[in-house]
Amino acid sequence: MNFRTAINFPGNPGYIDHRQQILLLGSCFAENIGLWLQQRKFNVDINPFGTLYNPLSIAQSWERIVEGKAIIENELFAFNNLWHSYDHHSRFSGCDKKATLSLMNRRIEKSHRQVPNIDRIIITWGTAYVFRLKETGKVVANCHKQPASIFDRMLLSVDEIVSRWRDIIKYIEDNLPQCRILFTVSPIRHLSDGAHGNQISKSTLLLAINRLQQEFGICDYFPSYEIMMDDLRDYRFYDTDMTHPSKSAIAYITEILEEAYLSPESKEIASQWYKIQRALEHRPLMPDKDEYTIFLQHTLDKVMRFQQMYPYINVSNEITELNTRISQI
């Protein structure tokens, strides 16, 4: 007897590869996937504007990255002793206006330089609800805890989402012929919308992605939402807030992604580097100098062998870090 519902979908081994430049945009689940890839030495650029949830704000962030369009001073506003941008997550907010502006623009410029080389874009939509600033009509990526009275809240339609993304995907087809887009819908439940409202929102996102898949051959879909809802349908797979997936649920979903999209070579590279990454993160509380030096040198030897085996993967920062740590003992 089978006590679970396995989610079957057509995998594509080699779809995600260590030779690729990968951009991730969207909700905190995009960051979960991005961190998993980063810890396994994939070449990733994760959320240059911070965590974003709705398709319109994510579309705008992509367009700004492509244009390399800097944030200007009058786009920032002050609230609760911090400077904010309506296009950014609050982790970019800061006390000093010039420093905040500089941080945002350095991050945009870094991603802009990488655009011609992007091979995969992984996009995670979280909600179809948006907030518009009453004063200007602008859809904001983040309200930054301002009073709800200054915003209008609305549910996007499937047509609005598809229309907004159609030109973006056409641009990618025409200018980045090597690039494919992997859409997913965040498995995080937005219960502030109500249980029914959350389902309407997620359904709108799913229908929009389906339409884009039908129109464009470069669009693919990874069923993270369905895995969470139908395979892991138990509260033990949720964090304590009962809306976010637990660590074990995230690990399970990323294991499915790994099995579906990584080539055997990339699986081996990922496994090798993750062990090295764990060693790099090791910081003994009271290290024995000789023993710790041997440990660091052993780790450095592993990194050097890794570099010889996979010369197309950049490990220069790790080599520099290990040599510095060894010299400081």
**If pLDDT is split at 50, 70 and 90, which confidence band does 6 have?**
confident
The answer to whether residue 66 sits within a structural domain is: yes
The answer to whether residue 26 sits within a structural domain is: yes
- Same domain, yes or no: 105 and 205: yes
- Same domain, yes or no: 28 and 173: yes
The answer to whether residue 270 sits within a structural domain is: no
- Residue 90 corresponds to which tokens in the numbers above? 């609050």
- Same domain, yes or no: 207 and 173: yes
Place of tokens 């870094």: 110
- Same domain, yes or no: 246 and 310: no
- Residue 139: which region, alpha, beta or left (left: phi > 0; alpha: psi -120 to 50)? beta
- Same domain, yes or no: 305 and 215: no
Q: Three-state SS for 61? A: helix
What average pLDDT does the segment 85-105 reach?
98
Residue 193 is part of which domain span? 21-263
pLDDT at 35: 96
pLDDT in tens, 235-264: 888 889 888 899 999 999 999 999 999 999
The answer to whether residue 76 sits within a structural domain is: yes
pLDDT in tens, 267-288: 999 999 999 999 999 888 766 7
- Same domain, yes or no: 307 and 256: no
- Same domain, yes or no: 177 and 293: no
The answer to whether residue 43 sits within a structural domain is: yes
Report the chain's mean pLDDT, rounded to a whole number. Answer: 95
pLDDT at 287: 65
**If pLDDT is split at 50, 70 and 90, which confidence band does 1 have?**
low
Outline where 40-151 has alpha helix (H).
Answer: 55-67, 97-114
Place of tokens 């907004």: 164
What pTM does this model have?
0.94
pLDDT at 165: 98
pLDDT in tens, 141-200: 999 999 999 999 999 999 999 999 999 999 999 999 999 999 999 998 888 888 899 999
- Residue 20 corresponds to which tokens in the numbers above? 């690729």
DSSP string, 203-241: HHHHHHHHHHHHH-TTEEE--HHHIIIIIS-SGGGB-TT
Find the range with the poorest average confidence among 43-57, 68-82, 156-170, 188-202: 188-202
> How many CB atoms are located within 10 Å of the residue 264 CB?
9
Rounded Cα–Cα distance for residues 53 and 139 (Å):
12
Contacts of 303 (CB under 8 A, 6+ apart): 276, 315, 318, 319, 322
The residue that leads in pLDDT, 130 or 3, is 130
The answer to whether residue 140 sits within a structural domain is: yes
